């Protein structure tokens, strides 16, 4: 849906840039104009950057049947034209944005993009795609300005949408036996933990390492003796430098509270107990070492987690608030703070890994326990007043935005050239990407 695409996190551009040589492994065709929207143009390279991102999101690759990629390319171009129409409408209506906000977001997004890559990889990525850092920033700046303009015009449209109690009741009646096109999901996550006896044993072992450190022994030497992390123990526990979001949350939360040279108290994560020593704190990363005592889980531990999820499900079905249970028990701190709220999903965009557990559920129902990599879950399809109001409001806002775009399309000149033969040179493959040899010839010219 258009609104989801306009409002999702702004890493599309850089994600597509670093996916280019890895997931698609072919140089770009020299730019052509594939669409004009009034006085604005959309280039072949811009379309393919977005296509790569969308294909990655849907699990497609350059080896996917050409027909599927062509259909997706047409869909992506239509969305890009709609976005540009919306931007022009915002500009026509003299909607203003704060340049300071643009520059602040630019700095944050640029830092995030750079910190998500290894040292030197960012520069190599720019070199591969033929952009300077200044040019990449210019692209980011344009994307950010468009995003803010879209957000403002959407807020204006949403403000005029009214949803009342009768609307919610009519919605419930209409979807007694079938799910709406968009659903709101909440979940409770329980991580599989070892038994209390195992944890006590491992805590005693990490306590021995603490005692050695307190006696003045070198951290690296203690790590070599005690740590059970096969990747770092032989290197004195050294983990190198990492940005936010790289490590498991328990580890990161403890590491970010330390000062350089400090060592944490024992920290329990899904892997076991850690002693974390912060070596260096940079603007966009931490450098740390650790000692890990593994605390492995068993089938009995998984069974205990399953039983606990069954108990929580029963309590929710017997009338306890699912949101309160999520706040109290869920092991996902981000969603737990919001009462387990996971988000709104168009039905056709529900992640594939979730679909088997939602089959047959209706509004207000809760799934049976199931397990994913991070632990055990139960999921509820929300039917409370606030959730349904939000779904109705979002649907009506989407419809109003669609009407606004369609009406303004009639007032401006739009031309697409995706089907023109001269978009491809002889030797291009069916997806529109050059072969390696043809790309090399083009680069030589």
pLDDT for residue 366 is more than 90 = yes
Percent pLDDT > 90 in the chain is 47
Structure tokens at 272: 């076991």
DSSP assignment letter at 22: I
pLDDT for residue 370 is more than 50 = yes
pLDDT for residue 351 is more than 90 = no
Structure tokens at 432: 């529109």
The structure's pTM equals 0.64
The whole-number pLDDT of residue 145 equals 86
121-129 and 12-19 helices cross at what angle (nearest 10)? 80
The whole-number pLDDT of residue 383 equals 94
DSSP annotation string for 58-105: TT--TTS-HHHHHHHHHHHHHHHHHHHHHHHHHHHTT----HHHHHHH
pLDDT for residue 345 is more than 60 = yes
Vertex 179, ends 176 and 183: CA angle to 5°?
Answer: 125
In the beta sheet, which residues pair with residue 378?
188
Structure tokens at 105: 């977001």
In the beta sheet, which residues pair with residue 242?
286
392 neighbors 167 (Cβ within 8 angstroms): yes
Q: Which residue has the higher pLDDT, 18 or 373?
A: 373
**What topology does CATH give the domain 2-160+413-444?**
Triger factor/SurA peptide-binding fold (1.10.4030)
Mean pLDDT, the chain, rounded, equals 83
- For tokens 């540009």, what's the residue? 84
Percent pLDDT > 70 in the chain is 83
For 345-396, the three-class secondary structure string (H helix, E strand, C coil) is EEHHHCCCCCHHHHCCCCCCCECCCEEECCEEEEEEECCCHHHHHHHHHHHH
pLDDT for residue 14 is more than 70 = no
Residue 187, Cβ neighbours under 10 Å: how many? 20
DSSP assignment letter at 427: T
Order of all β-strands in the sheet with 182-190: 341-346, 182-190, 375-381, 370-372
Count H helices, E strands: the chain?
A: 17, 11
pLDDT for residue 15 is more than 50 = no
Cβ-based neighbours of 257, under 8 Å, separated by 6 or more: 264
Q: Is the domain covering 182-193+299-382 a CATH 3.10.50.40 domain?
A: yes
Q: What confidence tens digit (pLDDT) does each residue in 234-278 have?
A: 999 999 998 877 888 889 989 989 999 999 999 998 899 999 999
Separation CA 197–CA 200 (nearest Å): 5
Separation CA 376–CA 188 (nearest Å): 8
CA-based nearest residue to 417, from 35, 30, 80: 35
Q: What confidence tens digit (pLDDT) does each residue in 145-204 have?
A: 888 888 888 888 989 999 999 999 999 999 999 899 999 999 999 989 898 899 999 999
φ, ψ dihedrals at 101, nearest 5°: -65, -40
The whole-number pLDDT of residue 436 equals 32
The most distant pair of C-alpha atoms in the chain lies apart, rounded to whole Å, by: 78
User: Boundaries of CATH 1.10.4030.10 in the chain?
Assistant: 2-160+413-444
Most confident stretch, 62-66, 200-204, 296-300: 200-204
CATH number given to 198-294: 3.10.50.40
pLDDT for residue 114 is more than 80 = no
Model confidence band, residue 442 (pLDDT cutoffs 50, 70, 90)? very low
pLDDT for residue 433 is more than 90 = no
The whole-number pLDDT of residue 115 equals 66
The whole-number pLDDT of residue 54 equals 79
User: Boundaries of CATH 3.10.50.40 in the chain?
Assistant: 182-193+299-382, 198-294
Mean pLDDT of 356-374: 92
Mean pLDDT of 80-108: 88
Q: Which residue has the higher pLDDT, 142 or 312?
A: 312
Lowest average pLDDT, out of 30-34, 102-106, 139-143, 410-414, goes to 30-34
């Amino acid at each position: 849906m258009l609104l989801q695409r306009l409002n999702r996190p702004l890493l599309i551009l850089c994600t597509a840039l670093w996916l280019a040589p890895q997931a698609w492994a072919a140089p770009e065709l020299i730019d052509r104009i594939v669409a004009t929207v009034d006085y604005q143009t959309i280039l072949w390279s811009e379309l393919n950057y977005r296509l790569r991102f969308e294909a990655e999101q849907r699990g497609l690759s350059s080896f996917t049947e050409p027909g599927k990629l062509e259909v997706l390319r047409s869909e992506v171009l239509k969305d890009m034209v709609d976005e540009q129409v919306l931007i022009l409408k915002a500009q026509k209506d003299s909607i203003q944005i704060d340049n300071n906000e643009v520059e602040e977001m630019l700095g944050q997004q640029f830092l995030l993009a750079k910190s998500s890559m290894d040292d030197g990889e960012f520069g190599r990525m720019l070199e591969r795609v033929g952009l300077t850092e200044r040019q990449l920033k210019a692209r980011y700046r344009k994307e950010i300005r468009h995003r803010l303009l879209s957000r403002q015009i959407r807020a204006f449209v949403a403000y005029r949408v009214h949803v009342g109690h009768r609307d919610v009741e009519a919605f419930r009646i209409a979807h007694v036996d079938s799910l709406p096109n968009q659903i709101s999901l909440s979940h409770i996550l329980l991580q599989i933990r070892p038994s209390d006896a195992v944890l006590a044993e491992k805590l005693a072992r990490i306590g021995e390492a603490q005692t050695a450190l307190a006696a003045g022994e070198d951290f690296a030497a203690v790590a070599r003796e005690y740590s059970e992390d096969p990747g770092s123990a032989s290197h004195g526990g050294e983990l190198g430098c990492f940005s936010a979001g790289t490590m498991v949350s328990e580890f990161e939360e403890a590491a970010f509270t330390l000062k350089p040279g400090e060592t944490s108290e024992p920290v329990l994560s899904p892997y076991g107990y850690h002693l974390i020593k912060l070596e260096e704190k940079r603007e966009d990363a931490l450098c740390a070492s650790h000692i890990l005592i593994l605390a492995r889980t068993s089938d009995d531990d998984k069974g205990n987690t399953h039983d606990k999820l069954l108990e929580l499900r029963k309590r929710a079905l017997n009338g306890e608030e699912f949101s309160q249970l999520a706040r109290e028990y869920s092991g996902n701190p981000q969603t737990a703070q919001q009462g387990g709220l996971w988000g709104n999903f168009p039905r056709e965009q529900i992640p594939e890994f979730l679909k088997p557990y939602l089959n047959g559920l209706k509004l207000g129902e809760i799934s049976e326990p199931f397990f994913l990599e991070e632990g055990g879950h139960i999921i509820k399809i929300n039917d409370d007043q606030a959730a349904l109001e939000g779904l109705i409001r979002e649907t009506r806002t989407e419809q109003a935005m669609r009407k606004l775009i369609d009406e303004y399309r009639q007032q401006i000149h739009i031309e697409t050239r995706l089907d023109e033969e001269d978009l491809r040179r002889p030797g291009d493959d069916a997806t529109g990407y050059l072969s390696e040899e043809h790309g090399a010839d083009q680069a030589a010219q």
